[in-house]
Amino acid sequence: MKQKFDVGIIGAGLSGLTLGNSLLSKKIKNFILFEKEMSTKNDKTYSFWSGPGLFDIKKTFSVKLKKEWSQIEIKVKGESYKIDLGDYRYACYGSESVLSELYKRLAEKGIKVERGCSIKHVKKNQDDWEIEVKGKKILLKNIIDSRPNKKFDDKYPSLKQVFVGSEIISTKKVFDENVVTLMDFYNSKKNVIFTYILPFSKTKALVETTFFSYDINFKQVEKLHKLTLKKFDIKEITRTEKAVLPMSPYTNLKMENQYYKIGNFAGASRPASGYAFTRIALWANQIETKSEFSYEMINHKENYLTNWLDKIFLSVLRSNPQEAPEIFRIFFTKVPISSVIRFLSEQSRLIDYLVIILKLPKLVMLRGLINLYVK
């Protein structure tokens, strides 16, 4: 006998597991998840903003924070610009604790996650979908697919965010444990390149080398990352993480014949940052707070104004990457930090958009806008 479920979620990563928990809150219980990996890995650090007026992400995931900070810095041409976050915080979780908690909640309600199965083929029957897992055929009314796309959309102004990070222990007290280095820029005419540092103590930090580019590969990033690490007198590398994330305003939504795409490559990634943690938490909350569940809710709804500003931002970064350090410096130091954080967390008020438009350099942004429509 073939097993039958209402829903099959492919990929038990952040979006798949979060959605699974939202389905439970809607009293949908006849579903199953399929995950390629056998175990949950601590291979991502999920950073996000928290503070007054922002949706409380800590309630969604309710696990112990790895750390939070009340100061950030931007470094341009060796000069440091420190920004006090006031009542706001920059915080992070380790992926293992977040995902393990989401797994646990599903297991408590008897939801099965088939681990160690890489789904390659999905067959369409007349009334349902069919997946073969470990020699068994499973029938599914709806498929929700969070697998990453192999191909990147490089249609203008899309970019890729490629980064390599190492959690290191230094022999010396080289880090200021109270200040996150959000962006320490390299001089580059071709790409936006910066170092990102999450200091956990004076001697321990996650150091990442990040590129915003449309034609970069890991090897090039790794090469620069090795050089970057040399600055820190490394005693030990305790963990590594790496990513290729889409920074694209063109969401890859698919919603036909009860087949839905979710995750990084289907609207979960914020175009201007590649970040998805906040968006996924907000999306889950929207599903959970609606009185009735419908499958249309699975699609990420974009905010028109945020998406439009992101497109202009991406257009500037793609056609004038050498301008990026100065634009980010102005963004973080001239716009009130509460407006910056609400904008980055997709919880902007009208006044935040206005102040951002007023403060950013007009000529550069206008060129970005024009390029958006002519390229």
Ligand X SMILES: Cc1cc2nc3c(=O)[nH]c(=O)nc-3n(C[C@H](O)[C@H](O)[C@H](O)COP(=O)(O)OP(=O)(O)OC[C@H]3O[C@@H](n4cnc5c(N)ncnc54)[C@H](O)[C@@H]3O)c2cc1C
Q: In a 3-state reduction of DSSP, which class is residue 373?
A: helix
The least CB distance from residue 114 to ligand X, in Å, is 9
Interacting span for ligand X (CB under 6 A) from 169-177, 217-225, 271-279, 355-363: 271-279
Does residue 146 interact with ligand X by CB under 6 A?
yes
Kindly state the smallest distance separating residue 235's Cβ from ligand X, in Å.
Answer: 23
Residue 310 touches ligand X, criterion: CB under 6 A:
no
Residue corresponding to tokens 């969070």: 146
- Least separation, in Å, of the C-beta of 222 and ligand X? 14
Which of 66, 147, 300, 318 touches ligand X (CB under 6 A)? 147
Q: Estimate the crossing angle of helix 324-334 against helix 304-319, to 10 degrees.
A: 140
Nearest residue (CB) to ligand X, 10 versus 140: 10
277 binds ligand X (CB under 6 A): yes
Closest C-alpha among 181, 250, 186 to residue 212:
186
Question: Interface with ligand X by CB under 6 A: which range of 40-48, 211-219, 225-233, 350-358?
Answer: 40-48
Q: What is the dihedral of CA 98, 99, 102, 107, to 10 degrees?
A: -140
Q: How many CB atoms lie within 10 A of CB 32?
A: 20
CA distance 127 to 139: 10
Q: Shortest gap between Cβ of 233 and ligand X (angstroms)?
A: 24
Read off the DSSP letter of residue 267: I
Residues 312-371 that bind ligand X (CB under 6 A): none
CB of 227 to ligand X, least distance (A): 20
Number of residues in contact with ligand X under rule CB under 6 A: 30
Determine, following the binding rule CB under 6 A, whether residue 149 of this chain makes contact with ligand X: no
If DSSP states are collapsed to H, E and C, what string results for 99-161? HHHHHHHHHHCCCEEEECCCCCCCEECCCCEEEEECCEEEEEEEEEECCCCCCCCCCCCCEEE
**Cβ at position 259, least distance to ligand X in Å:** 15
Contact 356, 309 (CB under 8 A): yes
Q: Is 245 in the site for ligand X (CB under 6 A)?
A: yes
Q: Say if residues 192 and 180 touch (Cβ distance below 8 Å).
A: no
Binding site for ligand X (CB under 6 A): 10-16, 34-37, 44-48, 118-119, 146-147, 241, 243, 245, 263-264, 268, 275-278
